[in-house]
Amino acid sequence: MLARNGYGLFSIEYRLGKPGVYPVAVYDARAAIQFIRAKATEFNIDASRIGLVGDSAGACLAALLALGGDHFTSQYRDDPYATTQIDVKVVIGFYGIYDMPAQWRHDFQAQSKREDLAERNGDRIVRPPDNITQAFLGVAPGQDRARYLESSPISYAALDRSGDRSPPRFLIITGDRDPLVDAESQSDAFLASLTQAGFVAKRVAVPGAGHFWVSDPLIGRHSFPAIAAPQVLRFLENYL
């Protein structure tokens, strides 16, 4: 859909699937953006109009790099594009995680509810912990709270941006039936922080949508991406 409307697209690969991979996923995504900006002429794109789109963990990385990318510079220093600025103009995040401590608490509470339900049902099968935030960061908040704050996009929303050429604009999209990411403590709180700090930020809630639906077909009566698509195109037309 985006390509048909004239937007050049790049799919970024980053290390995410193994526990404790933070912060290499951030550095991988940052290096990819630098590569794309440095090669803009070859790719026939406008280097001053770079936007990031991500869902779930991808939305977290997109927002983190747009706001705090300059804080992640210790790796890939020998890369030929290491000095290329990030300079992201827009961010579109689908059901993203923006506050790591809040998500850890949500994961912990969900795990406790599952364990209580299993005990009431007499389920004696021992299942491994399912805290996605802790698996990504490698530690619990009590072990390294600084890592949780450093990896949270919301931590960078209120930073002084007076030296920026142009602050990024945000479109935050969620479903109102997401069992994995709590919209109130994530998208709503992030939107409030962005707005208070003077960013242009908009929020779209898709009725009936849960988690992991952005790549579904854009057809059908109940296509959640089809509901969000006009908002995405309008946002890009206005701000990118």
Phi and psi at residue 92, to the nearest 5°? -120, 115
Q: In the prediction, which pLDDT does 111 show? A: 72
Q: Is residue 56 part of a domain?
A: yes
Kindly state the greatest CA–CA separation across the chain. 63
Burial pattern 130-158, b for ≥16 Cβ within 10 A else e, equals ebbbbbbbeeebeeeeebbebbbbbbbbe
Least confident of 68-72, 100-104, 129-133, 198-202: 129-133
pLDDT exceeds 90 at position 69: yes
pLDDT digits (tens, 9 = 90+) for 84-138: 999 999 999 999 999 999 999 999 888 766 555 445 566 555 454 568 899 899 9
Q: Is residue 192 part of a domain?
A: yes
pLDDT exceeds 50 at position 7: yes
If one counts the domains in the chain, the total is: 1
- The domain of 35 spans 3-99+156-239
pLDDT digits (tens, 9 = 90+) for 142-166: 999 999 999 999 999 986 565 656 8
Q: Is residue 48 part of a domain?
A: yes
The pLDDT > 90 percentage for the chain reads: 77
pLDDT digits (tens, 9 = 90+) for 176-185: 999 999 999 9
CATH code of the domain covering residue 40: 3.40.50.1820
Q: Is residue 132 part of a domain?
A: no
Q: Is residue 150 part of a domain?
A: no
Q: Is residue 127 part of a domain?
A: no
Q: In the prediction, which pLDDT does 113 show? A: 64
Q: How many CB atoms lie within 10 A of CB 72?
A: 19
Q: Is residue 32 part of a domain?
A: yes
Confidence band for 28, pLDDT divided at 50, 70 and 90: very high
Which residue, 160, 236, 154, 156, is CA-closest to 202? 236
Instruction: Output the pTM of the full model.
Output: 0.91
Q: In the prediction, which pLDDT does 222 show? A: 82
Given its phi and psi angles, is residue 220 left (phi above 0), alpha (psi -120 to 50 degrees) or beta?
A: left
Q: Is residue 26 part of a domain?
A: yes
